[in-house]
Amino acid sequence: MHREASFAAATTLVLFAGLCLAETITINTEPAHAGIYRLDSHGEGTLIGTGSARLKLEKDSPNQVKVTADGYEPVIQAFPKGNKYAKVVQISLKNRLVKLNVLPYDAQIFHNGALLGSQSAEIVVPPDASTTVEVRRPGFKTEMKTYHNQAGSDIPPVADRIDLGDRLVLLTTNPSGCSISIDGALMGENSADVVVPRGRCAVVKVAKQGFAPVEKTYCNSEQAPEPPLNDSITMRNRVVAVIISPSEAELKVNGRVVGRGEFQVSVNEGLCADVVVALEGFVTEKRQYCNQTNAPVPPAEEHFQLALDEAFSISLRSDQANVNFTLEVNPTRTVDQAWKTIFQVVVNHFDVIEMSDKETGYLRTAWKVRNFPHNTIRTRVICYLGDAAPLKYIIKIQSEYSGEANTSVKCDDCFHEWDRVLSSYKDIITELQARLT
């Protein structure tokens, strides 16, 4: 019983010896290369050891030490004299520290969403955690970095620098529904963040059906103008996608042949485009597209389906149409005989003779009109004396078309010369040749 009491008393004495009113304590650090500084009343430090140091406790002093190591947040600990301490104290640096500098100097530093300031900051990463830093400045692409303080992850750098070099243009477009491509890659509609890499250019293309595409280039170099913070592109010039059937039909824009089959007709702001689609044997189609205030909006697409021209099927191309053709009369025939023959042949095809004078050898029929669903054809014959010796007459078949149904025969400006004649008139000159020569 006495021995047990003695052993308990000895054990208590040993434990008490570990926690005593020591005059000097030993400080060990983790990591082992950490520096240990004794701080004076002004916070100035004096190195007393690396990895391990003996600290003599002084009266009326907080006996503060600061433990530091590159890449770690420093730890300050006080050991006021009169308290109980273990003879050996372990101080571990657990929080990682990244000393961050940024450019431009006025760029803002955000740590986990909270603003820290600009130019520089110290980023603390607690144990078993990650932290994210963002550097922002208007007109520049935001840069982000994540630092980890976890087993298996890369150790954060002691110091780091983030340099904002890529420019950023906040682009909006009008009207709604415009697609935006950057360097050929589709980025979305209506708005986009245009990143212009340092030392390079970015080509932006804005497109929308019914409008002429717009391209714009932003460059990020010392020689080029600085890209704007914000920009807006408004599409103003219209485009009509014209699709023609039959595809061989010819397309004219403002009087100039531009293509066949399919074509993009541009209509610039404030202007109009006159479109004509034509193919022999088919009815010509005409349209006018205007890109003007209070004018109907041009369609994004229009399909021209040309209708067959009924006049074409009952006519033939002729080198006698609208051409003066000379008939030399057989010398055995008199003027009266020749005139009578001409008169008879013409009257067989035309009901009305508008003017006839045998003495001068002049004859002109009235216009004979043939109406079609999409065209009007007018035809007449003019004959006049070409020479008296030998006797010659000049014959001309005038053949004209309007391109419209039910055109008034009196509207001379509405008709145009036609290189064809209706089949009913194709033999007039041949018959005259046969009977006069």
Q: What is the pLDDT of residues 163-207, one digit of tens each?
A: 999 999 999 999 999 999 999 999 999 999 999 999 999 999 999
- Asked whether residue 168 is domain-assigned, the answer is no
3-state helix, strand, coil in the chain (%, to 5): 10, 50, 35
- pLDDT score recorded for residue 9: 37
Structural domain count of the chain: 5
- Name, in order, each residue with C-beta under 8 angstroms of 5's C-beta and a sequence gap of 6 or more: none
- Residue 1 scores a pLDDT above 60: no
Is the same domain home to 319 and 415?
yes
Position 13 confidence tier, pLDDT thresholds 50, 70, 90: very low
- Asked whether residue 114 is domain-assigned, the answer is yes
Position 12 confidence tier, pLDDT thresholds 50, 70, 90: very low
Give the residue from 437, 244, 234 showing the smallest Cα distance to 330. 437
Is the same domain home to 328 and 426?
yes
- Residue 2 scores a pLDDT above 70: no
Spatial distance between the Cα atoms of 247 and 245, rounded to a whole number of angstroms: 5
Position 41 confidence tier, pLDDT thresholds 50, 70, 90: confident
Is the same domain home to 396 and 333?
yes
Query: Average pLDDT, stretch 208-231?
Result: 95
pTM of the model: 0.68
Lowest mean pLDDT among 21-25, 138-142, 312-316: 21-25
Helix (H, G, I), strand (E, B) or coil at 392: strand
Is the same domain home to 327 and 428?
yes
Is the same domain home to 270 and 343?
no
- Asked whether residue 169 is domain-assigned, the answer is no
Is the same domain home to 80 and 180?
no
Position 21 confidence tier, pLDDT thresholds 50, 70, 90: low
Burial of 249 (0-12, 13-18, 19+ CB in 10 A): buried
Residue 102 is part of which domain span? 96-163
Query: Average pLDDT, stretch 86-107?
Result: 95
**Domain termination residue (choose one: 92, 113, 133):** 92
Is the same domain home to 121 and 19?
no
Percentage of the residues of the chain whose pLDDT score is greater than 70: 95
Position 400 confidence tier, pLDDT thresholds 50, 70, 90: very high
**Domain termination residue (choose one: 268, 293, 308):** 308
Is the same domain home to 326 and 432?
yes
**335-347 helix and 428-436 helix, angle to the nearest 10 degrees:** 160
- Residue 309 scores a pLDDT above 80: yes
Is the same domain home to 319 and 426?
yes
**Domain termination residue (choose one: 92, 112, 147):** 92
- Report the Cα 45 to chain-centroid distance in Å: 63
Q: Please give, one letter per residue, the 3-state secondary structure of 77-99.
A: EECCECECEECEEEEECCCEEEE
Give the residue from 68, 37, 35 showing the smallest Cα distance to 50. 35
Cα–Cα distances in angstroms (integers) from residue 62 to residues 27, 76, 83, 284, in the given order: 16, 11, 11, 104
- pLDDT score recorded for residue 212: 95
Is the same domain home to 69 and 34?
yes
DSSP state of 72: B
Angle at 23 (CA atoms; ends 17, 28), nearest 5 degrees: 80
* Beta carbons within 10 angstroms of residue 373's beta carbon: 12
